[in-house]
Structure 1
Amino acid sequence: MTETPILSRLVKVDDIPGGQIDVTIEASEQERAALARDFGLVEIARLVGRYRVERRGRYVHVTGRVEATIEQTCVVTLEPFAAEIGEDVDLRYTEPHFIEDQAEEGEEHEVDLDAPDPIENGRVDLGALTAEILSLGLDPYPRKPGASFAFGEPAPEPSPFAKLASLKKTPEE
């Protein structure tokens, strides 16, 4: 049993009129809050995916852009700060059996990183795609603008003889 994604917007492939549609996915306040918890963010103020979905024979081609306004914690200062994310999308989908048919029998199956993603139950989930693209666009070590981590050499410790010399009292004249 597959767990339903936090953000899910299914597009039925067979219902794409004229072979192409434009789709806008906008996450609700509850979906943004749940995604922020999952991604370790302070807040997701806005999350929008704008896509052109085209049916091309056995394939579905999805192009577009995911944009978000987020608040995350700086790894240097530990202060929250706002950031904008914008990621382009260009993916292909096809039926899972078509992907499997590409591998020859008796051969060990290699992972093809350029292979199309599977169309599941005749649908493409653009909501899950939007959340996935957002997660891939997040900086794993976010820094607040202007924050810098200055690592310097530790100050040399005085030698034991210098410490002893400082304890030596000078005779008064």
Structure 2
Amino acid sequence: MTDPTPAAPWTHSVLVAQLPPESSLTLEPTEETRAALARHVGALSVPELKATLELVVDRKGTVTVTGRLTGRVVQACVVTLEPMESAIDEAVDVRFAADAGPDYAPGAEVEFGYESADPPEPIINGRIDLGAILTEFFSLGVDPYPRKPDAAWQPGDEQAHDESPFAALARLKDSGAS
């Protein structure tokens, strides 16, 4: 049976049993991985990306990962279609638990309130995939509608500035087209 969840473009699996109680980790994806991340979010490129993380393992085996994901992404401006560069700066704060309980099984519906903490991510086969989680944070940090600060939509020559958008329809009706 195949996994219905597509693989993340960035993977970095860590064996929880080998983690000290507290550790620091810096991850920088390869050029190939940055290209895959760009495709993943529909960007032109990801010139740089870096995650600086702190990992804390408690007595129950729960792993708390905090830190920052920073970098740059090049996207096409939604107005001019010209390449533009944007900064990525996302705070990372995620918990992983080996036994999150039956309510937190992968694919299960989870209910939680505004003030309750997010459910922990699962530790699968004793491992956590930091790259997959960082891919999610990266995806959330990319502007879905990037726009250059000075970009403004200009109507084409065939459309007068004061003309109603329905004027073209009226001309078609008057000319007898249906």
Q: Same fold (TM over 0.5)?
A: yes
8 Å CA contact 2:13–2:128 kept in 1: the answer is yes
CA distance 1:43–1:56, change in 2 (3 Å): same
CA distance 1:78–1:102, change in 2 (3 Å): closer
8 Å CA contact 1:99–1:118 kept in 2: the answer is no
Deviation at 1:34, TM superposition (A): 1.4
1:111 equivalenced with 2:118 (yes/no)? no
Deviations 1:28-66 (A, max 9, x none): 011111111121101000111111010023311100000
Query: Match of 2:127, as an amino acid?
Result: R
8 Å CA contact 2:104–2:110 kept in 1: the answer is no
Which residue of the partner structure matches residue 11 of structure 1? 14
Which residue of the partner structure matches residue 40 of structure 2? 38
State the identity %.
38
Aligned partners of 1:109 and 1:101: how far apart in 2? 8
1:69 equivalenced with 2:76 (yes/no)? no
Q: Where in structure 2 are the equivalents of 1:23-172 lying within 5 Å?
A: 23-58=25-60, 59-95=62-98, 97-100=99-102, 110-112=110-112, 114-149=118-153, 155=162
Taking structure 1 as the reference length, the TM-score comes to 0.76
CA distance 1:156–1:52, change in 2 (3 Å): closer
Which residue of the partner structure matches residue 168 of structure 2? none
CA distance 1:146–1:102, change in 2 (3 Å): closer
Structure exhibiting the larger radius of gyration computed from Cα positions: 1
Taking structure 2 as the reference length, the TM-score comes to 0.74
- Range that drifts further, 52-61 or 1-10: 1-10
Query: Match of 1:62, as an amino acid?
Result: V
RMSD: 2.6
Structure 1 residue runs of 5 or longer lacking an equivalent are 158-173
Structure 2 residue runs of 5 or longer lacking an equivalent are 165-178
Q: Aligned residues, how many?
A: 150
